Structure 1
């Protein structure tokens, strides 16, 4: 019987804004914006290089950034360094703009919960099912969850940059189960990445995958979780 659920963060419970929204918000806050053609080109290049954390993956990683990219979720410094480097590779080199873009993605305004995130978490709480967020991430998600009214529904956070290891390492799922106070056989892992989130199977956890879609295209992706509790 499932008594606890570990959820991935990005693409599972919440989704980051689009690259257009991300860049547009930062430029508007700075009091300026390029012409339409330049803006479209900047969005295209930022998307190509995967510069938005939580957004599309890079089409390719420059050779000199391969190690930094691979280890980006292990520390806060490496996470910032990796994504700001990709922003510069995309051709946006103004240091203030690069910094503002990275900082923007950590704000509550940059993220939207999926429509069924809060209802699902509330129902789990009502049933007495413990919940953890297990994420490969380089920054603290707790303020974001508080801002969206979700923190009170989370029993434990297991974040790669705090633990020094990342999914699919079984150690991070073990930490999640320990945070829930449950054996792996009683814990369900829910995520959108078959490789990373699927690593929980090694411990004996059940795993359920959702699609990493825009918020308006996935209104009820988490509903099957309740059916899996048994």
Structure 2
């Protein structure tokens, strides 16, 4: 089948951590300092315990339409710790904590050259799991990546997360391609599982810092551009 489209994950694929430990430490310190400012009484160690599983907990009921999923998690988290936040305070915490984390994220040096090669020959789309869509649009604009993608699917906006097939189906529909005409490039188990469920050929990026080893239909590539940059490139069964 002729390869007509390439879909990308964002974090861990096009954007990579400079230092993951520092990124999350900076997120935590910023979160703690802001919560203390707004009335938190917990000591830092107790707050750290409370933060365990922050991103993997079930989505709290959404009571304010103006809040993103990430901001809503902050609202519920603060409420559970007896801190009552105003909407403006929730939004400040959301923005400041993500910015603190992103301080230690960088664009992969191969990202722009790869997208430049592919843009004129393939339909490109982005599929990312992220609970705060405004940040994604800000970052894509900052790095001038938005111009490369015909469609951008953010889980916090779409309502589905990888590996749910729906986020892939929605992207395929908007691009106008069939699963057999597309590859998906990602760095996580969710990326590979989601693509396989839909019938999209996955390319798994094995980062040095990653401990994930995936087998099956996924395959590994150290030179994606070489594999995808020809007009007549095909997807092997």
Alpha-carbon distance, 1:205 to partner = 0.9
Distance 1:213 1:68 in 2: 34
Alpha-carbon distance, 1:125 to partner = 1.5
Give the 3 Å change call, closer, same or farther, for CA 88–184 of structure 1 in structure 2.
Answer: same
Where do 5+ consecutive residues of structure 2 fail to align? 38-42, 210-219
1:132 matched to which residue of 2? 125
Aligned residue among 67, 77, 87 for 2:68: 77
Give the 3 Å change call, closer, same or farther, for CA 26–170 of structure 1 in structure 2.
Answer: closer
With structure 2 as the length reference, what TM-score do the two structures score? Answer: 0.63
Distance 1:211 1:86 in 2: 34
Q: Deviations over 1:127-169 (max 9, x none)?
A: x112111112221322210111211122210122222222222
Give the 3 Å change call, closer, same or farther, for CA 147–204 of structure 1 in structure 2.
Answer: same
2:15 matched to which residue of 1? 14
Give the 3 Å change call, closer, same or farther, for CA 26–82 of structure 1 in structure 2.
Answer: closer
Give the 3 Å change call, closer, same or farther, for CA 95–191 of structure 1 in structure 2.
Answer: same
Distance 1:80 1:23 in 2: 15
Distance 1:202 1:173 in 2: 9
2:117 matched to which residue of 1? 123
Alpha-carbon distance, 1:189 to partner = 0.8
Alpha-carbon distance, 1:109 to partner = 4.8
Q: Deviations over 1:9-31 (max 9, x none)?
A: 222211366123445678999xx
Higher alpha-carbon deviation: 181-190 or 18-27: 18-27
Q: Deviations over 1:181-203 (max 9, x none)?
A: 22111111111221344212222
Matched, 1:49 2:55: no
CA contact (8 A) 2:163 2:195 kept: yes
Q: Deviations over 1:64-97 (max 9, x none)?
A: xx4549x9xxx953322225656898x8x69698
Which has the greater radius of gyration? 2
Q: Secondary structure at the match of 2:172?
A: helix
CA contact (8 A) 1:192 1:209 kept: yes
Give the 3 Å change call, closer, same or farther, for CA 191–112 of structure 1 in structure 2.
Answer: same
Where do 5+ consecutive residues of structure 1 fail to align? 33-37, 52-56, 215-220
Give the 3 Å change call, closer, same or farther, for CA 9–201 of structure 1 in structure 2.
Answer: same
Distance 2:15 2:151 in 1: 17
Q: Secondary structure at the match of 1:195?
A: helix
Alpha-carbon distance, 1:206 to partner = 0.3
- Provide the aligned length of Structure 1 versus Structure 2: 200
